Structure 1
Amino acid sequence: MGALDAVAARVARGQAVEFRPRGHSMVPLIGSGDQVRVEPVDPSAVEVGDIVLARVTGATYLHLVSAVDHARKRVQISNNRGRVNGWTGHARVYGICVSVAGVPRPRIAGKQRAG
């Protein structure tokens, strides 16, 4: 189990979590080591451009929603460099990034779910 899997488990249980992800796939939206806050999400409310914590094809990512398929209750997850990770169902979208380095993310209101 990776570090993001442990974070995803906590968020899936309804907890808000702050952590510092490592890597460069989300620069400049999230820099390596920036503190992020992720809160439980209502997956049906996410939109293209939201940053979500989701499990796709066996891995957990803190990546962008690049497409939404409301009819099939799924979202497409991609990094900020153009790589598409794949589609995942609402049940595997655990949280939404509400802030990066203390700066609130836009368009978050109404997307969080109560724990």
Structure 2
Amino acid sequence: MGALDAHAARVGQGQTVQFRPSGSSMVPLIRSRQLVTVAPVEAARVEVGDIVLVRVAGTTYLHLVTAVDHTAGRVRISNNRGRVNGWTNHARVYGICTAVDGVPRPRTAGKIRL
């Protein structure tokens, strides 16, 4: 189990977590080792442009929602450099990034699962 899997498990249990992901796939939205806050999410409320903690095809990512299919209850996940990770259902969307280095992310109000 990787670090993102452990964070996803905690968020899936209803906890809000903070961690410092590494990598450059989300620059400039998230730079390597910036502190992110991820809260449990009502997956049906997720929109294009949200950053979510999600499992796609066996891998856990903190990536962008780039398409939403409300009818099928699924979202498409991509990094911020144009690489599409794939589609996944709402049950695999664990959390939404609410802040990066303490700066709130836009449009997260009303999406957090209490």
* Coarse TM-score class (shorter-chain normalised): over 0.9
Match of 1:88 in 2: 88
Deviations 1:48-80 (A, max 9, x none): 000000000000000000000000000000000
Structure 1 residue runs of 5 or longer lacking an equivalent are none
Structure 2 residue runs of 5 or longer lacking an equivalent are none
- The amino acid that maps onto 1:72 is A
- Percent identical across equivalent pairs? 72
- Alpha-carbon distance between aligned partners in 2 of 1:83 and 1:113, rounded to the nearest angstrom: 28
Asked if 1:43 corresponds to 2:43, the answer is yes
- Alpha-carbon distance between aligned partners in 1 of 2:31 and 2:103, rounded to the nearest angstrom: 13
TM-score normalized with structure 2 length: 1.00
- The amino acid that maps onto 1:45 is R
- Alpha-carbon distance between aligned partners in 2 of 1:10 and 1:107, rounded to the nearest angstrom: 23
- Alpha-carbon distance between aligned partners in 1 of 2:31 and 2:102, rounded to the nearest angstrom: 13
Asked if 1:15 corresponds to 2:15, the answer is yes
Match of 2:27 in 1: 27
Is the partner of 1:29 in helix, strand or coil? coil
| Matched residues, number | 114
Q: How do residues 99-114 of structure 1 correspond to structure 2 at under 5 angstroms? A: 99-114=99-114
Is the partner of 1:95 in helix, strand or coil? strand
What is the Cα-based RMSD across aligned positions, in Å? 0.3
- Alpha-carbon distance between aligned partners in 2 of 1:87 and 1:102, rounded to the nearest angstrom: 29
TM-score normalized with structure 1 length: 0.99
Is the partner of 1:9 in helix, strand or coil? helix
- Alpha-carbon distance between aligned partners in 1 of 2:10 and 2:112, rounded to the nearest angstrom: 15
Runs of 4+ in 1 over 2 A off after TM superposition: none
- Alpha-carbon distance between aligned partners in 1 of 2:91 and 2:5, rounded to the nearest angstrom: 14
